[in-house]
Structure 1
């Protein structure tokens, strides 16, 4: 089952302006913190060894494989950031239980779907953070990220009908909104909180895909 629009629901944002030396230094620090957080999450436990090894690995990765410049125009908001982590940890537990049930359930194997989700904030940082958060939750895996349109293509297990497709897509948009609320700029926050005047996009079915 493949579902979702194949064209962007929102126009791509303007090209990022050249970064100043101070902005590049700040972005490197943010990148190190982000990579280290992902490393600790992948291990599943917080220890000093995991933290230090994550910091060292992040610095080495950024030195050997420098990332393209990413503009961080937002600011960190502690309360929304705490809400994001609480909800993220809850989603981890719930998704793990659901996958365990699917693994031991008798009968037909669970259906899966590839769902296209156009994000409302088309920036490299938002695309990366949303994709990482989705991939860390059991049952969902990013198979492609279209940087030009800001669209994530997610493989999801346990999808049975169109209603669940739309429910999952809305869940991704809610995840994006929580990330933007935690670290986004005021303009990005408006984009995820104000409804789209054009209305929701009409799903498009690729040729040969089940409807």
Structure 2
């Protein structure tokens, strides 16, 4: 129940910002609508486990760091893809790379998969049956080990801190 309340408050605030009017009535409307939005995503957020407001608040700095790293990686990847596209002779070796992951929860797996897909030049294609490997298409897979290590060291580390 505490988790519903926390997510409802967050979505109430999001509703105020999306609507463009920050007032009590708008916030209350957002909080009332939020449980109907949360319900379909209940399995993703693992509602069966205990929820602690203190733990959620302590994760805010890690989540902010994750967002900073994500934006930085997107900008870096955009520059790399732009360089590839603007070259007179495109010398790339696209391919699919198996990337072992350490994340275990649905939320973390979704976050790392979406992070990879949001980064230009990479796309998460599939996940192994045992949920330990993501298959990623890379625009330049000439160094598959380097791409896998980059994902594990530069992205997954922050996902683990923010969501597990």
Tell me how far 1:100 sits from its aligned partner.
0.8
After superposition, the Cα gap between the structure-2 partners of 1:106 and 1:85, relative to the gap in structure 1 and judged at 3 Å, is same
How many residues were matched structurally? 141
**TM-score, normalised with respect to structure 1:** 0.54
For residues 176-191 of structure 1, the aligned pairs below 5 Å read: 176-184=156-164
Match of residue 71 from structure 1: 46
Q: TM (normalized to structure 2)? A: 0.67
Contact residue 139 and residue 156 of structure 1 kept, 8 A: yes
- 1:31-180 to structure 2, matched below 5 A, reads 48=18, 68=43, 70-71=45-46, 75-76=55-56, 77-146=59-128, 148-160=130-142, 164-174=143-153, 175-180=155-160
Q: 1:60 to 1:111 in 2, by over 3 A?
A: farther
Measured in 2, the distance between the counterparts of 1:70 and 1:147 equals 20
Structure with bigger RCO (C-alpha 8 Å, 6+ apart): 1
User: SS of the residue aligned with 1:25?
Assistant: helix
More helix by share: 2
Residues 183, 97 of structure 1: alpha-carbon distance in 2 compared, 3 angstrom cutoff: same
Give the conservation status (yes or no) of the 8 Å contact 2:97–2:141: no
What is the distance in 2 between the residues matched to 1:89 and 1:148? 30
Q: Distance in 2 between matches of 1:151 and 1:144?
A: 9
- In structure 2, relative to structure 1, the CA distance for the partners of 1:138 and 1:108 (3 Å cut) is closer
Structure 2 residues not aligned, in runs of 5+: 21-25
3-state DSSP class of the match of 1:117?
Answer: strand
* Secondary structure of 1:141 counterpart: strand
Deviations 1:36-61 (A, max 9, x none): 8xxxxxxxxxx7359x9xx8xx9776
Contact 1:124 1:147 in 2 (8 A): no
> What is the deviation of 1:167?
1.6
Q: How far does residue 122 in structure 1 lie from its aligned partner after superposition?
A: 2.0
TM superposition shift of 1:138: 0.7
